[in-house]
Amino acid sequence: MAQVPAEDQPGWYERAKRKMTKIVDEGAMSLNLSGLAHHGRNTYTPEKISELNENAWGLGFTKAIRDEKDNEELFYAMIISDSHYKPQPMAGYAYQWMKPIAGNIEIGGGYTYSLISRTDYFKGVPFPIALPVASIGTKNTKLMAAYVPRLSKNKGNGDVLLLFVRIDLN
């Protein structure tokens, strides 16, 4: 097989654009239903936890495809109720390495890059964030999780597990 000269290979922007177009054009549509944001009990005081919203109700949509290794790539947009009962819109890309575990049940682990808007950070101006993600379920329905690690040595910052369900609409 002949090597393609480096000057003839597409740059990172062109590769990203092609990937995005493929996911949007060929991906399966899913509905995301959010419902739980668990705040770490060693990071927040009981008094603070009683003030925080752990019912992160929300809704979103995903377009997902499987790559040549049967791993999952997706784009998503969601809006949830954040820890302070304010709207938190987010949109991003995620990649998960998938592994079958029993019958049609599989687990996945990977990462997401997102733009998030929160009223308590940067006055609501969207900011980028990279987080770990995991899932368990079938190719059509999954329980998914994203984890916001503790952001400083100070208590009361980060250490939040967001759980949501993704249901295939195709």
Q: Which residues pair with 111 in a beta bridge?
A: 95, 132
Number of H helices, E strands in the chain: 2, 8
Kindly state whether residue 3 falls inside one of the protein's structural domains.
Answer: no
Q: How many domains does the chain have?
A: 1
Could you read off the pLDDT tens digit of each residue along the chain, which spans 170 residues?
A: 556 566 678 888 898 888 889 999 999 999 999 989 999 998 888 999 999 999 999 999 999 999 999 999 999 999 999 999 999 999 999 999 999 999 999 999 999 999 999 998 888 999 999 999 999 999 999 999 999 998 777 766 788 999 999 999 98
Predicted structure pTM score = 0.87
Kindly state whether residue 129 falls inside one of the protein's structural domains.
Answer: yes
Torsion angle of the four alpha carbons 67, 72, 77, 78, in this order, in degrees rounded to the nearest 10: 170
Total Cβ atoms within 10 A of residue 167: 13
Kindly state whether residue 1 falls inside one of the protein's structural domains.
Answer: no
Kindly state whether residue 147 falls inside one of the protein's structural domains.
Answer: yes
CA–CA distances in Å: residue 88 to residues 24, 77, 156: 23, 11, 18
